[in-house]
Amino acid sequence: MMLLPDLQLFKAEFFKALAHPVRIRLLEVLRHGERSVQELQAALTVDQSTVSQHLAILRAKHVVASRKEGTTVRYAVRDARVGALLDVSRAIFNAQLTGSQTMLRALRRESRRPPRRRATRPA
């Protein structure tokens, strides 16, 4: 049966694009600015073809855009509101995760400013 308006189908496709741990990580890196495939690969520690495949999916769903620059390709989030989306969902997780101390800590860690690699060793 089914027969639902295309619009809901379209929305579902969009959420599907976010429904994978690798793609979430990709977006959480990309929301801080444009990145090359190499940089993304380094940040995630998954292999090249996997990163490329997930980027292809995000591209197909129009979540990210790619721009060629010489040999490398740089990716960026297409709509800044994707950041807002991740923030709202973070707030929801936060409320939901009252159980797991470990995940709660990880979540809090994420929401702090980008961990600005420490320059000097602590006193």
Helix (H, G, I), strand (E, B) or coil at 117: coil
DSSP-derived secondary structure for 8-50: HHHHHHHHHHH-SHHHHHHHHHHTTS-EEHHHHHHHHT--HHH
**Beta-carbon-side half-sphere exposure of residue 71 (alpha carbons within 13 Å):** 1
Question: Residues 57 to 86: which contact a copy of itself by CB under 8 A?
Answer: 62, 78-79, 81-82, 84-85
Q: Which does 14 bind (CB under 5 to 8 A by kind): DNA, a copy of itself, none?
A: a copy of itself
Contact 52, 66 (CB under 8 A): no
CA distance 97 to 29: 22
Question: Residues 11 to 40: which contact a copy of itself by CB under 8 A?
Answer: 11-12, 14-16, 18-25
Nearer to a copy of itself (CB atom), residue 44 or residue 73: 44
Q: How far is the CB of 1 from a copy of itself (least distance, A)?
A: 6
Provide the binding-site residues for a copy of itself, judged by CB under 8 A. Answer: 1-12, 14-16, 18-25, 44-47, 62, 78-79, 81-82, 84-85, 88-89, 91-93, 95-97, 100, 102-103, 106-107, 110
